[in-house]
């Protein structure tokens, strides 16, 4: 995968910050309750969350690599690339306010989350790093269209190592928003709800997806 893919996923994580605050605002708020909003707790939580993203990316990359080996390189790679960019288009629309654009993908993860969610309760409210870190590991599997869009892109990497690296880049992109959400939770509510920011982020992510689809078409025509 080109290095630009890592940068693109980092930017998608960063630009999708309004969605991250909305999805994970509850757990971030729980970390702030009764613990003086200690930075160490938020760092531990986010470290666990990003590790789960990297593990999911390794699985996705390995699956993508296996499909390439079994089915031949170019046709499957193009299909995966088109799927990844369609997910980015859906994500851009979602950020712009088309709320059902990613609902189908989030439903896919609900079954897994039903088994994991009860485990998270034993760590709430998190008052120590030993509670915040496993909580982050669990919440990294929260059904989220933003994460699934990134995972489909990681699948196109064709290897567990690159898939993990791409999801690590994505996770680091989400880090500034969620760290700020933990330390400035009340002030960021207005930021997350800001229509202009959500629209700008959505347009940029939509542009990533449309450009990727254009490149896919070029591969098909000239492949």
Q: How far is CA 8 from CA 4, 86, 121, in A?
A: 6, 15, 34
The reported pTM is 0.81
Alpha helices in 96-128, H assignment, sequence order: 103-108, 110-120
Q: Which of 17-31, 80-94, 111-125, 159-173 has the highest mean pLDDT?
A: 159-173
Residue 186's pLDDT band (boundaries 50, 70, 90)?
very low
Per cent of the chain over pLDDT 90 is 15
Which of the two residues, 199 and 161, has the higher pLDDT score?
161
Span 43-64, pLDDT tens digits:
898 999 999 999 999 999 998 8
The per-residue pLDDT for 161 is 93
The pLDDT of residue 188 is above 70:
no
128-132, 141-145, 151-155: least confident range: 141-145
CA gap 179, 190 in Å, rounded: 16
CB 205 within 8 A of CB 16: yes
Residue 71's pLDDT band (boundaries 50, 70, 90)?
low
């Amino acid at each position: 995968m080109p290095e630009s893919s890592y940068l693109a996923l980092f930017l998608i994580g960063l630009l999708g910050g309004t969605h991250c605050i909305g999805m994970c605002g509850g757990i971030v708020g729980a970390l702030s309750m009764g613990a003086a909003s200690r930075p160490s707790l938020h760092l531990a939580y986010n470290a666990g969350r990003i590790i789960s993203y990297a593990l999911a990316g390794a699985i996705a990359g390995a699956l993508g690599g296996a499909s390439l080996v079994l089915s031949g390189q170019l046709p499957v790679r193009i299909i995966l690339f088109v799927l990844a960019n369609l997910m980015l288009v859906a994500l851009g629309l979602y950020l712009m306010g088309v709320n059902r654009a990613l609902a189908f993908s989030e439903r896919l993860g609900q079954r897994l989350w039903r088994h994991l969610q009860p485990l998270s309760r034993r760590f709430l409210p998190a008052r120590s790093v030993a509670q915040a870190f496993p909580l982050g590991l669990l919440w990294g599997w929260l059904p989220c269209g933003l994460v699934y869009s990134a995972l489909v892109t990681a699948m196109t990497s064709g290897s567990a190592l690159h898939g993990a690296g791409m999801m690590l880049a994505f996770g680091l992109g989400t880090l500034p928003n969620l760290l700020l959400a933990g330390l400035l939770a009340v002030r960021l509510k207005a930021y997350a709800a800001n229509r202009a920011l959500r629209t700008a982020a959505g347009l940029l992510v939509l542009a990533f997806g449309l450009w990727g689809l254009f490149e896919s078409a070029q591969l098909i025509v000239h492949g």
